[in-house]
Amino acid sequence: MSDYDRAWDEQLLQNPHLVADKRSRVQRMFSAIAPSYDLNNRLHSFGRDQYWRKKAVRIAAPRPNDTVVDVACGTGDLTLAFSRMTSGPVIGIDFTYDMLPLALKKSSRTSSSVGWINADAQCLPLSDACCDIVSIAFGIRNVQDIRSAMKEFYRVLRPNGRLIILEFSEPQQPLVRFLNRIYSYHLMPITASLIARDRSGAYQYLPRSIETFISRQQMTRLMAETGFVSVEQHPMTFGVCVCYRGIKPMDSSQQHIV
Protein backbone atom coordinates (compact mmCIF):
# COMPACT_ATOMS: atom_id res chain seq x y z
CA MET A 1 0.00 0.00 0.00
CA SER A 2 1.42 3.39 -0.95
CA ASP A 3 1.08 6.54 1.15
CA TYR A 4 -1.47 7.79 -1.33
CA ASP A 5 -4.02 5.05 -0.72
CA ARG A 6 -7.27 6.07 0.89
CA ALA A 7 -7.15 9.44 2.59
CA TRP A 8 -10.95 9.19 3.00
CA ASP A 9 -13.45 6.42 3.68
CA GLU A 10 -17.24 6.41 4.00
CA GLN A 11 -17.17 7.08 7.72
CA LEU A 12 -14.75 10.01 7.56
CA LEU A 13 -16.76 11.46 4.68
CA GLN A 14 -19.88 11.80 6.84
CA ASN A 15 -18.42 15.18 7.74
CA PRO A 16 -14.81 15.56 6.57
CA HIS A 17 -14.56 18.98 8.25
CA LEU A 18 -14.85 17.36 11.70
CA VAL A 19 -12.03 14.86 11.16
CA ALA A 20 -9.24 15.60 13.64
CA ASP A 21 -6.42 15.01 11.13
CA LYS A 22 -8.17 16.67 8.19
CA ARG A 23 -5.00 18.69 7.50
CA SER A 24 -2.77 15.69 6.75
CA ARG A 25 -5.52 13.84 4.88
CA VAL A 26 -6.10 16.88 2.64
CA GLN A 27 -2.38 17.19 2.00
CA ARG A 28 -2.06 13.50 1.10
CA MET A 29 -5.07 13.72 -1.21
CA PHE A 30 -3.70 16.74 -3.13
CA SER A 31 -0.28 15.11 -3.48
CA ALA A 32 -2.02 12.13 -5.05
CA ILE A 33 -4.00 14.11 -7.63
CA ALA A 34 -1.51 16.92 -8.39
CA PRO A 35 -0.27 15.61 -11.79
CA SER A 36 -3.78 15.52 -13.32
CA TYR A 37 -5.27 18.36 -11.26
CA ASP A 38 -5.52 20.88 -14.14
CA LEU A 39 -6.89 18.42 -16.66
CA ASN A 40 -9.60 17.29 -14.24
CA ASN A 41 -10.47 20.91 -13.42
CA ARG A 42 -10.93 21.90 -17.05
CA LEU A 43 -12.88 18.79 -18.01
CA HIS A 44 -15.17 18.56 -15.03
CA SER A 45 -16.01 22.25 -14.83
CA PHE A 46 -16.57 22.31 -18.64
CA GLY A 47 -13.92 25.03 -18.82
CA ARG A 48 -15.74 27.27 -16.33
CA ASP A 49 -12.96 27.17 -13.71
CA GLN A 50 -10.76 29.65 -15.57
CA TYR A 51 -13.75 31.97 -16.06
CA TRP A 52 -14.43 31.87 -12.28
CA ARG A 53 -10.81 32.79 -11.55
CA LYS A 54 -10.86 35.66 -14.08
CA LYS A 55 -14.05 36.95 -12.51
CA ALA A 56 -12.43 36.77 -9.05
CA VAL A 57 -9.52 38.87 -10.34
CA ARG A 58 -12.00 41.43 -11.71
CA ILE A 59 -13.81 41.56 -8.34
CA ALA A 60 -10.45 42.09 -6.58
CA ALA A 61 -9.77 45.01 -8.95
CA PRO A 62 -5.94 44.96 -8.66
CA ARG A 63 -4.11 48.26 -9.12
CA PRO A 64 -0.93 48.34 -11.24
CA ASN A 65 1.52 47.95 -8.33
CA ASP A 66 -0.51 45.86 -5.91
CA THR A 67 1.16 43.07 -3.96
CA VAL A 68 -0.91 39.87 -4.17
CA VAL A 69 -0.73 36.74 -2.01
CA ASP A 70 -2.64 33.77 -3.43
CA VAL A 71 -3.09 31.21 -0.65
CA ALA A 72 -3.75 27.52 -1.40
CA CYS A 73 -2.48 28.32 -4.90
CA GLY A 74 -2.26 24.70 -6.10
CA THR A 75 -0.90 24.68 -9.65
CA GLY A 76 -1.05 28.48 -9.70
CA ASP A 77 -3.87 29.36 -12.10
CA LEU A 78 -5.27 32.19 -9.98
CA THR A 79 -1.78 33.36 -8.96
CA LEU A 80 -0.82 33.69 -12.63
CA ALA A 81 -4.11 35.41 -13.49
CA PHE A 82 -3.22 38.05 -10.87
CA SER A 83 0.36 38.33 -12.11
CA ARG A 84 -0.96 39.42 -15.50
CA MET A 85 -2.79 42.34 -13.86
CA THR A 86 -0.12 43.83 -11.59
CA SER A 87 3.56 44.58 -11.86
CA GLY A 88 3.85 44.34 -8.07
CA PRO A 89 5.05 41.16 -6.33
CA VAL A 90 2.77 38.12 -6.60
CA ILE A 91 3.25 35.13 -4.29
CA GLY A 92 1.57 31.73 -4.43
CA ILE A 93 1.46 29.72 -1.19
CA ASP A 94 0.44 26.08 -0.78
CA PHE A 95 1.08 23.49 1.92
CA THR A 96 1.14 20.56 -0.54
CA TYR A 97 4.69 20.56 -1.86
CA ASP A 98 3.81 18.46 -4.95
CA MET A 99 1.62 21.25 -6.34
CA LEU A 100 4.41 23.83 -6.42
CA PRO A 101 6.76 22.39 -9.12
CA LEU A 102 3.72 22.30 -11.44
CA ALA A 103 3.01 25.96 -10.64
CA LEU A 104 6.66 26.87 -11.10
CA LYS A 105 6.76 25.15 -14.50
CA LYS A 106 3.79 27.24 -15.66
CA SER A 107 5.24 30.50 -14.37
CA SER A 108 8.60 29.86 -16.04
CA ARG A 109 6.78 29.22 -19.35
CA THR A 110 5.07 32.61 -19.11
CA SER A 111 8.33 34.18 -17.82
CA SER A 112 6.44 35.87 -15.04
CA SER A 113 8.17 36.84 -11.81
CA VAL A 114 6.00 35.03 -9.29
CA GLY A 115 7.31 33.57 -6.03
CA TRP A 116 6.14 30.20 -4.68
CA ILE A 117 6.18 29.28 -0.99
CA ASN A 118 5.40 25.98 0.72
CA ALA A 119 3.42 26.99 3.83
CA ASP A 120 0.13 26.65 5.67
CA ALA A 121 -2.74 29.18 5.39
CA GLN A 122 -3.04 29.07 9.17
CA CYS A 123 0.51 30.30 9.68
CA LEU A 124 1.65 32.50 6.80
CA PRO A 125 5.40 33.25 6.75
CA LEU A 126 4.69 36.91 5.97
CA SER A 127 4.92 40.12 7.97
CA ASP A 128 1.90 42.12 9.13
CA ALA A 129 0.25 44.45 6.60
CA CYS A 130 2.48 43.42 3.68
CA CYS A 131 0.02 42.97 0.81
CA ASP A 132 -2.96 44.56 -0.94
CA ILE A 133 -4.85 41.44 -1.98
CA VAL A 134 -5.12 38.01 -0.37
CA SER A 135 -6.93 35.41 -2.46
CA ILE A 136 -7.86 31.79 -1.86
CA ALA A 137 -9.59 29.77 -4.57
CA PHE A 138 -11.22 26.42 -3.72
CA GLY A 139 -8.92 26.29 -0.72
CA ILE A 140 -10.76 27.63 2.33
CA ARG A 141 -13.02 24.53 2.41
CA ASN A 142 -9.91 22.37 2.81
CA VAL A 143 -8.37 24.29 5.69
CA GLN A 144 -8.56 22.66 9.13
CA ASP A 145 -9.35 25.81 11.14
CA ILE A 146 -11.00 28.43 8.91
CA ARG A 147 -11.17 31.02 11.67
CA SER A 148 -7.43 31.00 12.26
CA ALA A 149 -6.73 31.21 8.48
CA MET A 150 -9.12 34.16 8.24
CA LYS A 151 -7.19 35.93 11.03
CA GLU A 152 -3.96 35.34 9.14
CA PHE A 153 -5.46 36.85 5.96
CA TYR A 154 -6.53 39.89 7.97
CA ARG A 155 -3.11 40.23 9.61
CA VAL A 156 -1.08 40.23 6.38
CA LEU A 157 -3.39 42.64 4.51
CA ARG A 158 -2.73 46.37 4.51
CA PRO A 159 -5.58 48.68 5.50
CA ASN A 160 -7.96 48.91 2.53
CA GLY A 161 -6.64 45.53 1.30
CA ARG A 162 -9.06 43.02 -0.19
CA LEU A 163 -9.71 39.41 0.75
CA ILE A 164 -11.04 37.35 -2.18
CA ILE A 165 -12.45 33.89 -1.50
CA LEU A 166 -13.58 31.73 -4.39
CA GLU A 167 -15.39 28.59 -3.32
CA PHE A 168 -17.93 26.02 -4.47
CA SER A 169 -21.41 26.28 -3.05
CA GLU A 170 -24.68 24.39 -3.16
CA PRO A 171 -26.96 25.96 -5.80
CA GLN A 172 -30.11 27.33 -4.17
CA GLN A 173 -32.56 26.57 -6.99
CA PRO A 174 -33.92 23.03 -6.22
CA LEU A 175 -33.77 21.65 -9.78
CA VAL A 176 -30.24 22.95 -10.35
CA ARG A 177 -29.18 21.58 -6.95
CA PHE A 178 -30.68 18.16 -7.82
CA LEU A 179 -28.90 18.00 -11.20
CA ASN A 180 -25.67 19.27 -9.68
CA ARG A 181 -25.78 16.56 -7.01
CA ILE A 182 -26.30 13.79 -9.57
CA TYR A 183 -23.30 15.06 -11.50
CA SER A 184 -21.07 15.65 -8.45
CA TYR A 185 -21.85 12.40 -6.61
CA HIS A 186 -22.47 9.92 -9.43
CA LEU A 187 -20.69 11.01 -12.63
CA MET A 188 -17.73 13.26 -11.85
CA PRO A 189 -16.10 10.98 -9.20
CA ILE A 190 -15.95 8.07 -11.67
CA THR A 191 -14.29 9.91 -14.56
CA ALA A 192 -12.11 12.16 -12.38
CA SER A 193 -10.80 9.19 -10.33
CA LEU A 194 -10.07 7.26 -13.54
CA ILE A 195 -8.15 10.17 -15.07
CA ALA A 196 -6.16 10.77 -11.86
CA ARG A 197 -5.86 7.01 -11.17
CA ASP A 198 -6.84 8.16 -7.72
CA ARG A 199 -7.27 5.87 -4.75
CA SER A 200 -7.16 8.58 -2.10
CA GLY A 201 -10.90 9.28 -2.32
CA ALA A 202 -10.32 12.89 -3.48
CA TYR A 203 -13.30 12.97 -5.82
CA GLN A 204 -15.62 11.45 -3.24
CA TYR A 205 -14.36 14.04 -0.73
CA LEU A 206 -15.07 16.91 -3.17
CA PRO A 207 -18.91 16.84 -3.26
CA ARG A 208 -19.17 15.78 0.38
CA SER A 209 -16.88 18.58 1.57
CA ILE A 210 -19.01 21.09 -0.36
CA GLU A 211 -22.31 19.77 1.01
CA THR A 212 -21.10 19.79 4.63
CA PHE A 213 -19.22 23.10 4.42
CA ILE A 214 -20.45 26.33 6.05
CA SER A 215 -23.24 28.20 4.24
CA ARG A 216 -22.76 31.42 2.29
CA GLN A 217 -24.32 33.34 5.16
CA GLN A 218 -21.95 31.74 7.66
CA MET A 219 -19.00 32.62 5.42
CA THR A 220 -19.94 36.30 5.14
CA ARG A 221 -20.61 36.42 8.91
CA LEU A 222 -17.20 34.90 9.63
CA MET A 223 -15.53 37.47 7.38
CA ALA A 224 -17.35 40.29 9.18
CA GLU A 225 -16.51 38.82 12.60
CA THR A 226 -12.83 38.73 11.63
CA GLY A 227 -13.01 42.47 10.96
CA PHE A 228 -13.62 42.69 7.20
CA VAL A 229 -16.09 45.32 6.04
CA SER A 230 -18.19 45.80 2.89
CA VAL A 231 -18.45 42.02 2.65
CA GLU A 232 -20.07 40.92 -0.61
CA GLN A 233 -20.88 37.62 -2.28
CA HIS A 234 -21.04 37.13 -6.05
CA PRO A 235 -22.67 33.81 -7.08
CA MET A 236 -21.65 32.43 -10.48
CA THR A 237 -22.93 29.65 -12.78
CA PHE A 238 -26.28 29.07 -11.01
CA GLY A 239 -24.59 29.42 -7.63
CA VAL A 240 -22.24 26.44 -8.14
CA CYS A 241 -19.40 28.82 -7.29
CA VAL A 242 -19.31 32.01 -5.21
CA CYS A 243 -16.75 34.78 -5.02
CA TYR A 244 -16.67 36.56 -1.63
CA ARG A 245 -14.94 39.90 -1.16
CA GLY A 246 -14.18 41.70 2.09
CA ILE A 247 -12.11 44.80 2.78
CA LYS A 248 -9.78 45.42 5.72
CA PRO A 249 -10.88 48.81 7.07
CA MET A 250 -8.57 51.82 6.96
CA ASP A 251 -8.66 52.16 10.72
CA SER A 252 -8.20 48.48 11.48
CA SER A 253 -6.88 49.17 15.00
CA GLN A 254 -10.51 49.84 15.99
CA GLN A 255 -11.66 46.41 14.83
CA HIS A 256 -12.23 43.58 17.24
CA ILE A 257 -10.73 40.42 15.81
CA VAL A 258 -12.40 37.31 17.18
Ligand X SMILES: C[S@@+](CC[C@H](N)C(=O)[O-])C[C@H]1O[C@@H](n2cnc3c(N)ncnc32)[C@H](O)[C@@H]1O
Interaction mask 35-74, ligand X, x per CB under 6 A: -------------------------------------xxx
For residues 223 and 241, which CB has a smaller minimum distance to ligand X in the complex?
241
Q: For residue 5, how many other CB atoms are within 10 A of its CB? A: 12
For residues 49 and 252, which CB has a smaller minimum distance to ligand X in the complex?
49
Asked if 201 interacts with ligand X (CB under 6 A), we say no
Determine which residue in the list 83, 86, 107, 122 makes contact with ligand X, applying CB under 6 A. Answer: 122
By the 8 A CB rule, do 198 and 192 touch? yes
What string of DSSP letters covers 138-173?
A: S-GGG-S-HHHHHHHHHHHEEEEEEEEEEEE---SS
Distances (CA, A) of 144 to 18, 123, 150, 185, 225: 9, 12, 12, 23, 18
Phi/psi for 107 (5° steps) reads -70, -30
Residue type, 131: C
| Residues contacting ligand X: total by CB under 6 A | 19
Determine which residue in the list 62, 139, 207, 239 makes contact with ligand X, applying CB under 6 A. Answer: 139
Asked if 170 interacts with ligand X (CB under 6 A), we say no
Compute, in degrees rounded to 10, the torsion defined by CA atoms 112, 114, 116, 121: -130
Asked if 167 interacts with ligand X (CB under 6 A), we say no
DSSP secondary structure letter of residue 183: I
Q: For residue 171, how many other CB atoms are within 10 A of its CB? A: 19
Asked if 124 interacts with ligand X (CB under 6 A), we say no
Determine which residue in the list 81, 91, 114, 121 makes contact with ligand X, applying CB under 6 A. Answer: 121
Asked if 30 interacts with ligand X (CB under 6 A), we say yes
Residue 76 C-alpha from the chain's centroid? 11
| Three-state secondary structure of 213-235 | CCCHHHHHHHHHHHCCEEEEEEE
Determine which residue in the list 8, 60, 67, 77 makes contact with ligand X, applying CB under 6 A. Answer: 77
Interaction mask 220-249, ligand X, x per CB under 6 A: ------------------------------
Asked if 120 interacts with ligand X (CB under 6 A), we say yes
Contacts (CB under 6 A) with ligand X, residues 78-107:
78, 94-96, 99
Site residues (vs ligand X, CB under 6 A): 26, 30, 72-74, 77-78, 94-96, 99, 120-122, 137-139, 142-143
